[in-house]
Amino acid sequence: MNKLVTYQSQENYAVITINNGKANAISHEVISGIHEGLHIAEKESKVVILTGTEGVFSGGFDLSIMKKSPKDAIDLVTEGSKLSLRMLQFPLPIIIACNGHAIAKGAFLLLSSDYRIGVQGNFKIGLNEVAIGMTMHNAGVAIARARLSEVYLNRSVINAEIYTPAVAITAGFLDAIVQPEELLNTAISTAKLFGELNMAAHAKTKLKIRKPHLKALENGILLDKKNSIRLNP
């Protein structure tokens, strides 16, 4: 693991924590750390709880990298999309304990997991790419289409609407919300419950249900690699 992502093994679950400054930005180092945590959890057969820090799960990709050049942007976006692909087909349940804000790639990680618990409060959740001048990438459309209702797919991806945690449940970004002080305990209780599943059946059923979406995401990644992604604020 690296200093931006930590891994803590407990009973039948593991907690992977992102800790990368005020916005918990998703950088290459963060992506690598999450991959490493997933590798260990899979080896240990642990249900995963992925979480951030107080008040923020993640504000999205590291903009200092995204603004360097089109190549830097597409490289980071591609690695982020590959992480989502891995999460969506991960053989064990992934629970996200969303500590607060989840914007852009932070929200895409919500859409890439199996169960999402948010917290009550004045927090923002959604996809702001169009609002900051980024045409939504193909992989992002594929991920959103897999998890959001048709109405909220258009509102979220095309209009860049940002939601409160309560509305984020209706949209499809979250499954439940609790008080901030209850977040980790609720995630742990959920992990223990999911730990009682037959993991072979869970893994096979997940792949069966998500097969068309995984294929669309794989195609989206290939298409995105052929195109430049740039921010035009």
What pLDDT does 233 receive? Answer: 42
Average pLDDT for the chain = 95
Residues 186-196 have pLDDT tens digits of 999 999 999 99
Q: Are 96 and 112 in contact (CB under 8 A)?
A: no
What pLDDT does 102 receive? Answer: 98
Question: What's the CA dihedral at 21, 26, 32, 36 to 10 degrees?
Answer: 80
Domain 5-183: assigned CATH number: 3.90.226.10
What pLDDT does 70 receive? Answer: 85
- Which tokens sit at 48? 């995963």
Q: pTM for the full model?
A: 0.95
Report helix, strand or coil for 185.
helix
What pLDDT does 2 receive? Answer: 81
Domain ranges of the chain: 5-183
Pick from 65, 97, 92: nearest CA to 78: 65
Eight-class DSSP state of 180 = G
Low-confidence ranges of the chain (pLDDT < 70): 228-233
Residues 108-145 have pLDDT tens digits of 999 999 999 999 999 999 999 999 988 999 999 999 99
